[in-house]
Amino acid sequence: MALINPKKKEVQVKLVYYGPGRGGKTTNLEYIYEKFKKRITGKMTTVKTYGDRTLFFDFLPFDIGVIRGYNVRMQLYTVPGQVKYSATRRLVLRGVDGIVFVADSMVLRKKMNRLSLKDLQDNLATFNKSIFKIPLVMQYNKRDLEKEGIPLLSYEAMERDLNSRLKAPAFDASAITGDNVVATMKKAISLTVASLQKKLELRG
Amino acid sequence: MKGGLVSLQFLNSRLANGLDLILTRTYFNAAKGDYRMECTVEFDKQQFDQIENILNEELIETGVQSVLLIDLAGNIIVSLDNGNINHDIYSLAALAAGNFGAVNAMAKIIGEEDFSLLFHKGEKESINFSKVTEDLLLLTIFSKDLSLGFLRLKVAEAIRKIQNLI
């Protein structure tokens, strides 16, 4: 749920990075923060556990420019990926406007990706949102591991497994090297902003 | 449509700064383009002014350091301060919304609807959380010079006035 402030001419939009634990959601945000540091006015906030895993969320505010006279502020969040943190993920999803699903391309993680996607669908449903309607981008992460001989599922296999019904835009990526991290984010922003634009047009 | 393209180009120029990727016109043909974005609150400019006045009169002029009206998604609706502080309010709002949600979830686990008092006391500064509506939360940051009891009275008065407005 975006927040439109006609007084300050500002819109706040919430983009959430979702996916299984150790899939690279935080690494995506860290790369974006490093890359755009000079233009990001706020700081990246993380709430981590002892083992350096995301406990609550990571948060990165990011001004993307002016649309129809409104300054648009994207608020990027990650969720904690581990299965046991489902209640926390639901909290972070509250008011979400767009989603990046960061899937792990390793063959071993196939089942975890599916479980996480189902968890996303269920958690969205608690807010009366449909995974088929919300702006969504798929990212098949960890492609860099191919060079190290670690068995990965191909792009096509990932598509069949996760995206055959959703048909969301999808990217092969490597969050650790930054490959396609920005492309994923831009796609998610453009889908989310397209729906915002409609909203602003309706307001006149 | 033309206006949309102009803003797309603007967005693109902002994002493409130093990058090699270009957003395409698929922006307009997005498969999910029919998705209608929802908004937390639909206040007009006058309501924003009125809420700011209430928070200013009831809280800032009473000696409160800073006041944030946020939604439970972590967005800031109104922020006011006494001019002497410089907090990262966007991170504060995100964390406060999550914190409030977590505490409410804890309340439900032990059979309570919610906890009526949510308050963090620091050595110099403290934070008080108060629910305004189902979706809105008021954060008040105040120093040890102000008593919690007095602050709660003023917060309750401000919330009553805001509730009458919306």
CB contact under 8 A, B27 and A194: yes
pLDDT tens sequence for chain B (166 residues): 333 333 444 444 545 443 323 232 233 333 344 556 676 677 888 999 999 999 999 999 999 999 999 999 999 999 999 998 889 999 999 999 999 988 988 999 999 998 878 999 999 999 999 999 988 999 999 999 999 999 999 999 999 999 998 8
Domains and CATH numbers, chain B: 1-37 (no CATH), 45-165 (3.30.450.30)
For residue A162, which of A90, A100, A92 has the smallest C-alpha distance? Answer: A100
For A44, the enclosing helix (H) or strand (E) is: none
- Contacts (Cβ under 8 Å, ≥6 apart) of A191: A98, A135, A136, A137, A169, B30, B32, B33
Per DSSP, the three-state class of B103 is helix
- Contacts (Cβ under 8 Å, ≥6 apart) of B98: A56, A57, A88, A91, A92, B74
pTM of the full structure = 0.85
* pLDDT, tens digit (0-9, with 9 covering 90-100), for A158-200: 999 999 999 999 999 999 999 999 999 999 999 998 877 777 7
B45 CA: distance to closest CA in chain A (Å):
5
* pLDDT, tens digit (0-9, with 9 covering 90-100), for A79-102: 999 888 888 999 999 999 999 999
Residue A204 lies in a domain: no
Residue A106 lies in a domain: yes
Residues in chain B: 166
CB contact under 8 A, B39 and A96: no
Domain enclosing residue A155, as ranges = 3-198
For residue A126, what is the domain's CATH number? 3.40.50.300
Chain A residue closest in CA terms to B45: A7
Residues in chain A: 204
Per DSSP, the three-state class of B115 is coil
Give the ipTM of the model, two decimals please: 0.82
Residue A7 lies in a domain: yes
For chain B, say whether A48 makes contact (Cβ under 8 Å): no
Residue A203 lies in a domain: no
Question: Which tokens go with A84?
Answer: 């046991």
For residue A170, which of A204, A141, A193 has the smallest C-alpha distance? Answer: A141
Chain B residue closest in CA terms to A197: B4
Question: Which tokens go with B113?
Answer: 């609807």
| Dist. CA A162–CA A99, nearest whole Å | 15
Decide if A183 contacts B22 (C-beta within 8 A).
Answer: no
Q: How many domains does chain A have?
A: 1
Decide if B126 contacts B144 (C-beta within 8 A).
Answer: yes
- Contacts (Cβ under 8 Å, ≥6 apart) of A154: none
